[in-house]
Amino acid sequence: SLISSNFICSQEIQHTEEFFIKPESRVAQLDTSQWPLLLKNFDKLNVMTAHYTPLSSGANPLKREISDYVRSGFINLDKPSNPSSHEVVAWIRRILRVEKTGHSGTLDPKVTGCLIVCIERATRLVKSQQSAGKEYVGIVRLHNAIENEAQLARAIETLTGALFQRPPLIAAVKRQLRVRTIYESKLVEYDPERRLGIFWVSCEAGTYIRTLCVHLGLLLGVGGQMQELRRVRSGILGEKDNMVTMHDVLDAQWQYDNNKDDSYLRRVILPLEKLLTSHKRLVMKDSAVNAICYGAKIMLPGVLRYEDGIEVNQEIVVITTKGEAICLAIALMTTAVISTCDHGIVAKIKRVIMERDTYPRKWGLGPKASQKKMMIQKGLLDKHGKPNESTPDSWKKEYVDYRWVQGVWLLHSGQRGALCSEGWAGCCHLCLEHVSPAGPGAGGRSSTHQSPHPVLGMGYGALVRGIGLCTFIKQREAVAVLLILGIFSFRDASKKEAAAVPRGVSELERAPKVSIVSVLWL
């Protein structure tokens, strides 16, 4: 009776009182709006799980040891006029005493401005930086006078969108016609007395501003040429984003060598993570980091947080809980799919950035993996973990190799792209393993293409089906390998059949028996 009275009382309260969450002006407990680099607005990321074991390995990009900091950084350099980009990069390499440097896109000797110089590990991002958009401020000299400034402004705005360009004679590349996109351009100032115009242009990587100035002169009917040029932005970095000069780099290294003061060097060199702040983020558990560095798939169970707006085939950055970039990857799931799934491949690796063994190895420590290692040591499995003559029947029945099960799931779910990332060898193995019949000669036929394959140890029908499956998932290398194996096997089998024919049989009957399928593939 006491329980029932309490229940009735609570029911009355629930019906009579008004319950709602009142709006509050307080900010969230964890304000990450001022966190650096890839950890900025970390609290706004979607949470997959909050449970993981933090490891002491790794460090915040801004607090790395100075040697690691230099090897994992880049310089937003204000390139001086006259030396070539190659010379400037070589000087930086010599000043900092590093082995490898690269830059974000060649500037002509006379051109000044933003040149991103990547050092050691950051050179892995050079290709993506070279293909990023650029912005320039240039001076064009017209050969004859024009009516007014508005005419030049209209001509500059006309030359936007996709344009045909042929590299100028001075360029050290093959002079073939190409299409480059001008996103936006405008006239800043015009001097009618000297016939000089200052313009600003935002364009695709690989656009020749020198050619653009010639086209501008042709469009106006007076002729023109580029007088001066400066790059004001490369990718996401511009003139106001910690741009330094060659003298700054030299002074910073001198200060560190003589006074052991690395503060100046840390201001001149920026962490490579700064180049990736415009990418969508995927945060991984510390235990999954080293596996990715060794090329493991980026799977959902290892994901801690993920950003809104991720689309399939979009380039994303995979990071640690400390804000370090692990790799660049191509998304195979959207944000909506990630939020509704528990298992599967989130993304495929495009370029690994982090060095191996920065974090400890944490794979192969489960019960099945430990048992498998013990069986390999005892000789119950071969060195690759595959069954042999000594393998117990219980292991063969119970153990499932999830690599190939996953491949079949990808094939049936229509994700051919993820399956093709396995490579031709994986596809060969997968296709032959899952299209094979119950045994050689399945179906009761004893024809040539059903006899056991001398190399693969399976029926020729399975081989043909494997070729068809590899063709379906567009793995050309796998098709070629299986086809070559099939051709040689059919040839050998045909020779054996011909040799087994008794004497006195006609040449027609003596000819090797080759199935119509093998003839079609030949």
Task: Say if residue 193 is in the same domain as residue 137.
Answer: yes
Task: Say if residue 419 is in the same domain as residue 508.
Answer: yes
**pLDDT per 10-residue tile (average), the chain, 522 residues:** 57 64 62 84 88 88 91 93 92 93 88 92 87 91 88 90 81 78 91 91 89 90 91 91 93 93 92 92 92 92 91 93 93 92 90 92 83 89 87 84 54 48 49 43 39 46 56 53 55 50 44 40 40
Give me the domain span that covers residue 458: 414-521
Tell me, what's the pLDDT at 442?
37
Task: Say if residue 122 is in the same domain as residue 190.
Answer: no
Distance separating alpha carbons of residues 500 and 1, to the nearest angstrom: 96
Tell me, what's the pLDDT at 5?
62
Q: Which residue has the tokens 């707006």?
A: 309
| Catalytic residue from among 31, 43, 78, 108 | 108
Both tokens of 35, joined, read 């966190």
Q: Output the pTM of the full model.
A: 0.68
Is 155 within a domain? yes
Tell me, what's the pLDDT at 128?
84
Task: Say if residue 342 is in the same domain as residue 428.
Answer: no
Task: Say if residue 245 is in the same domain as residue 116.
Answer: yes
Is 261 within a domain? yes
Tell me, what's the pLDDT at 394?
86
Last residue of a domain, one of 254, 272, 290: 272
Is 399 within a domain? no
What is the distance, to the nearest Å, from the Cα of residue 239 to the centroid of all Cα atoms in its chain?
27
393 is a catalytic site residue: no
Is 147 within a domain? yes
Q: How many structural domains does the chain have?
A: 4
Residue 104: closest CA among 80, 75, 83: 75
Tell me, what's the pLDDT at 199?
93
Task: Say if residue 209 is in the same domain as residue 196.
Answer: yes
Other CB atoms within a 10 A radius of the CB of residue 337 amount to 15
Q: Which residue has the tokens 């060659």?
A: 246
Give me the DSSP letters along 132-181.
S-EEEEEEEEESS--S-HHHHHHHHHHS-EEEEE---TTSSS----EEEE
Task: Say if residue 193 is in the same domain as residue 287.
Answer: no
Task: Say if residue 285 is in the same domain as residue 340.
Answer: yes
Half-sphere exposure of 20 (CA within 13 A, CB side): 4
Q: What is the CATH number of the domain that holds 109?
A: 3.30.2350.10
Task: Say if residue 103 is in the same domain as residue 249.
Answer: yes
Tell me, what's the pLDDT at 276?
92
Distance separating alpha carbons of residues 208 and 226, to the nearest angstrom: 10
Last residue of a domain, one of 205, 234, 263: 234
Task: Say if residue 420 is in the same domain as residue 438.
Answer: yes
